[in-house]
Amino acid sequence: MEQRSQEAPRPVEVTIRRFELSDVDSMTDWASDLLDKPREPSFIRDFVFRHPWFRAICLAGVDRHVGSVSVTPTGDPRRAELGYVLARAHWGKGVATAAVKRTVATVFDEMEGLERLEALVDVANTASQHVLEKAGFRREAVLPKYRVIKGAVKDIVMFSFLITDPLVDCTSASTRQSSSKKPERQKSLTMEQRNRETPRAVEVTLRPFEISDVDAMMVWASDPQVAAVCRWDVYESTEHVLAFIRDVMLPHPWSRAICLAGEDWPVGAVSVTPTGDPCRAELGYVLARAHWGKGVATAAVKRTVATVFDEMEGLERVEAVVDVANPASQRVLEKAGFTKEAVLRKYGAIKGVVKDMVMFSFINTDPFVE
């Protein structure tokens, strides 16, 4: 017996099942840190039942649940976020790891279109990071100042598990067959992108858009070569661009026209769009093709980070998520002082094609590049 107890612990067995209203009685075991009124049946009725994938974790053979695991869709149907919580009495026994393994073994079949499950963990939460590593997740990056948790801005570790990743000792089928899409590979240079000129410090100004900018914007919005690397489709008519300026650009919290110094005609656009976390916003930019390769985008991005932290309350991190196959855009960010943090696998889709994306960030304490 003595010898037996020193052997490696047997893997814990768990089951994952849907919640029932009667589960409210055992919710205080794990949910009291998270919820004001965990014993309210309304939490199960109004939140859990309406959630697309929220499950109870039970120890095998026991119906009383000991925690929960959830997979919450993001704005992109290919991507969802994993969350889990366990009653403290069950910590340190492999229960969460078993529940996460079971989740990845089933959720890709249950959520249509899902290709990437990601988990965002506070850097200080080593136990949770360990769970993900044991369950076969890939640690992709540490993202500084990425999320606000209980009022505090936190550095976050990004983990992912792809539909094509091997399952860790869960079923005999260790690798999924259902998807074998390969990430896009780096494309070769276009002539315009190669069109480098002697680097001279370009000066640009940034100003809010006006309805009268429609003709200037039509220049890049109607250009198929510009649209090819962007999420949007080519704009066919001035009316569509006009509607875009009126309905998206004017009400946008931080969107600016890029003008060459001394001119009022926009040659491009730059925007900083808030995310669900007030500390974090996403940078985007586009430039009319005639002005590529002259340092204009770099100058606009430098000017953006030099002002936007003062102009958007609570902002501490500006991030840019760039297609791995868009080296010009990555170069812009590097020149403007951004840090390349990670390649996030299957993170975004451009024109329906799932892409690996490079995550860049500039945080409010980073030095500005002259």
Task: Decide: is 229 part of the binding site for ligand COA (CB under 6 A).
Answer: yes
- Sole binder of ligand COA in the list 106, 125, 193, 238 (CB under 6 A): 193
First-to-last CA distance in the chain? 70
Minimum distance from CB of 194 to ligand COA (Å)? 7
Q: How far apart are CA 256 and CA 240, in angstroms?
A: 19
Q: Which is nearer to ligand COA, 59 or 350 (CB)?
A: 350
Task: Decide: is 286 part of the binding site for ligand COA (CB under 6 A).
Answer: yes
Minimum distance from CB of 239 to ligand COA (Å)? 23
Task: Decide: is 293 part of the binding site for ligand COA (CB under 6 A).
Answer: yes
- Sole binder of ligand COA in the list 58, 86, 117, 296 (CB under 6 A): 296
**By three-state DSSP, how is residue 310 classified?**
helix
User: What is the chain's alpha carbon radius of gyration, rounded to the nearest angstrom?
Assistant: 24
Q: Exposed/middle/buried for 332, CB within 10 Å: 0-12, 13-18, 19+? A: buried
Q: What token pair was written down for 300? A: 């606009």
Positive or negative torsion for Cα 359, 365, 366, 368? positive
Task: Decide: is 332 part of the binding site for ligand COA (CB under 6 A).
Answer: yes
Task: Decide: is 344 part of the binding site for ligand COA (CB under 6 A).
Answer: no
Q: Which is nearer to ligand COA, 7 or 197 (CB)?
A: 197
Task: Decide: is 77 part of the binding site for ligand COA (CB under 6 A).
Answer: no
For 333, the enclosing helix (H) or strand (E) is: helix 327-335
Q: Which is nearer to ligand COA, 56 or 300 (CB)?
A: 300
- Sole binder of ligand COA in the list 92, 199, 208, 253 (CB under 6 A): 199
- Cα 287-289-294 angle, rounded to 5 deg: 75
Q: Are 100 and 128 in contact (CB under 8 A)?
A: no
Minimum distance from CB of 327 to ligand COA (Å)? 3
Task: Decide: is 326 part of the binding site for ligand COA (CB under 6 A).
Answer: yes
Minimum distance from CB of 77 to ligand COA (Å)? 21
Positive or negative torsion for Cα 158, 152, 144, 308? positive
Q: Which is nearer to ligand COA, 161 or 285 (CB)?
A: 285
Task: Decide: is 327 part of the binding site for ligand COA (CB under 6 A).
Answer: yes
- Residue 101 makes CB contacts below 8 A (sequence gap 6+) with 135, 136, 167, 168, 169, 170
# residues near ligand COA by CB under 6 A: 24
Q: Which stretch binds ligand COA (CB under 6 A): 29-37, 52-60, 137-145, 285-293?
A: 285-293
- CB atoms under 10 Å from CB of 228, counted, come to 13
- CB atoms under 10 Å from CB of 218, counted, come to 17
Minimum distance from CB of 270 to ligand COA (Å)? 9
Task: Decide: is 351 part of the binding site for ligand COA (CB under 6 A).
Answer: no
Q: Per residue, what are the HEC states of 102-156?
A: HHHHHHHHHCCCCCEEEEEEECCCHHHHHHHHHCCCEEEEEEEEEEEECCEEEEE
- Sole binder of ligand COA in the list 119, 258, 281, 297 (CB under 6 A): 297
Minimum distance from CB of 164 to ligand COA (Å)? 25
Task: Decide: is 292 part of the binding site for ligand COA (CB under 6 A).
Answer: yes
Q: Which of 29, 19, 109 is nearest to 69 (CA)?
A: 19
Q: Which residues bind ligand COA (CB under 6 A)?
A: 189, 193, 196, 199, 226, 229-230, 285-287, 292-298, 322, 326-329, 331-332
